[in-house]
Amino acid sequence: MKGSYVHLRLGLLLSSERQAKLVAQPLAEQHQVRLERFETAHDAMDFVRKKRPQVVIADFERFGAAGIYGLADLMAEADAPVILIVRDVSEWEQDQFKKLGVFHVFEGSFKISELCDRVKLALKRGHRIGSSDRLPVVGV
């Protein structure tokens, strides 16, 4: 009799513990994604340098003062589709998300099922579209 196995995909979750409790289980059950959670972008960067996640889900607030630049650095290292969760962002930040090649942005409230659908699409893509050298341009 042949054995069977399920290949667990690796995802990075940059979020609070509360957010992680809502997201991790549905993604593991529906899409066989094992999420490694981090509180800070710095810790997430260390992780992506050692492992290559297939998807990144990040609460934009976790980038703190680094903001867009921290996101750009993480995207360059991870080279995986990035799904952002944001509260209030400016038009400039929304424009930068597009320029960086963010896969999807959830603004405000959203359903976990919608997130699961986006993760499924991101996993099918397999890699991020966009250039890691597209850093934001700040006008003075």
Based on the structure, what is the number of domains in the chain? 1
Six token digits for residue 79: 């080279």
On whether residue 21 sits in a domain, the answer given is: yes
pLDDT in tens, 5-36: 445 678 889 998 988 888 888 888 887 888 89
Q: Which residues contact 50 (CB under 8 A, 6 or more apart)?
A: none
Note the pLDDT of residue 24.
83
pLDDT in tens, 61-117: 999 888 999 999 999 998 899 999 998 888 999 999 999 999 999 998 889 889 989
81: domain range? 9-125
On whether the pTM is more than 0.85, the answer is: no
How far CA 3 is from CA of 6, 24, 32, 77, 112, in Å, comes to 10, 27, 18, 35, 33
On whether residue 51 sits in a domain, the answer given is: yes
